[in-house]
Amino acid sequence: MEKTALITGASHGIGLELARVFAEHGYRLVLVARNAHRLSEIKDEFQQSFSTSADIIVKDLSEPDAPREVFDELRDRNLTIHALVNNAGYGWKGQFADGNPDTQLNMIDLNVRALTYLTRLALPSMVAAKSGYILNVASTAAFQPGPLMAVYYATKAYVLSFSEAIANEVREYGITVTALCPGPTFTEFASRANMSTSRLFQGSGVMDVKTVARLGYEGLMKGRNIVIPGMRNRVLATSTRFAPRRLITRIARFLNEG
């Protein structure tokens, strides 16, 4: 039976690379993003490169009704989702008090609300089938507060906590829920978030996006609740459990500066 993976934020970065990995493993794809032209290009590329089909849904998931509209389209196309990848999201660097409130609230709507809503819509059919995979893309930002990116870090903390909780709830139904927590990665995220010159994205610690996507997929298939790609990132994430919170917060600010 052909399995279908729904991947959000699939037009670039980790989402695009995860789509490639799922395609390589025989999944039919449903790709969701705002950029219609880019999605059409990706659809053509995938249908030429892989022995699987790709559907596209053009949608701004920060809109309140967008997740429901996505699943309405899936129903109209008679598609059942076997794997959900909640990758859509963005960040913004700057003092919270100086930030545009619309940008900050839109970030919460996309990073948190849409992810939660899509997960809720996907789960009933997975529970009925007693099978399914959900990969929520969080970040190493989830493990500590993040001055100068306060809202972004908080949204990723939510994604991690939410993913761990529901992973426990649905395991009895044969469903795997994994939080993928990458550190700095070579994608468009840094430039879009005004982070390109920050210390966090300087040096040898920035990972290749293909590696991050592959490790995320492998961890999901192995049933892991949390995947942190890269030894350096795993050490840093683990260290936040033991160091004083004020120190961790100061270090996070230092890394976000620049």
Mind telling me the catalytic residues?
152
Q: Which residues make Cβ contacts (< 8 Å) with residue 129, sequence separation at least 6?
A: 82
Please state, in angstroms and rounded to a whole number, the distance separating the CA atoms of residues 225 and 163.
8
Q: Which residues make Cβ contacts (< 8 Å) with residue 61, sequence separation at least 6?
A: 8, 32, 67, 70, 88, 110, 114, 118
Helix (H), strand (E) at residue 220: helix 209-221
Tokens 């007693």 map to which residue?
Answer: 130
3-class state of residue 180 by DSSP: strand
**The two three-digit tokens of residue 227, written as one number:** 């995947």
202 DSSP 8-state letter: S
Q: Across the chain, which distance is largest between two alpha carbons, in Å?
A: 52
- Alpha-carbon torsion 81, 17, 94, 242, what sign? positive
Please state, in angstroms and rounded to a whole number, the distance separating the CA atoms of residues 198 and 8.
27
